[in-house]
Amino acid sequence: MSDVKVVRMLSGEDILCTVKDTSSNDNQLTIDDAVVVVPTQNQSVQFVPYSPFTTKDPIHINKDMVVFIGTPDPSLAGQHKKMFGGIITPESQIIT
C-alpha cells in the first residue's frame, strides 16, 4: 500500500501524491492522485491538479527532476485522502 507523500520537484512544485513502487524502471518515479500544493495569501493552501491534460494515472516522473520526498503534515494527508476516496482514519488518541 502506498502512503501519501510530498514530492518536491526541481521546478519548485510541491506535489501531494501517492508514490508507487519504482522497481520496473530505476530512473522513473511512478505517482498517482497527484495535486500541486499552492499557498494562498490568507495562510492556507489550495490544491491544483498536477497534470490536468493527462488522461489517467499513473504519472511517471524522471527521478533526476525530484529534489526530495517527504511525509506531509497530517492535515494535508487527510485532505488528500478525502479528495481521492481513501478510507479516512482518525489520528489515534487515548480517550479517558
Q: What is the pLDDT of residue 16?
A: 96
Q: What pTM does this model have? A: 0.80
**What's the farthest any 2 CA atoms get from each other in the chain?**
50
Q: Which three cell numbers stand for residue 87?
A: 478510507
- The domains of the chain are located at 4-83
Q: What is the pLDDT of residue 71?
A: 95
Residue whose cell numbers read 502512503: 3
- What is the distance between the alpha carbons of residues 96 and 86, in angstroms, rounded to a whole number? 29
Residues with Cβ < 8 Å from 90, sequence gap 6 or more?
A: none
Q: What is the CATH number of domain 4-83?
A: 2.30.30.100
- Span 53-70, pLDDT tens digits: 888 778 999 999 999 999
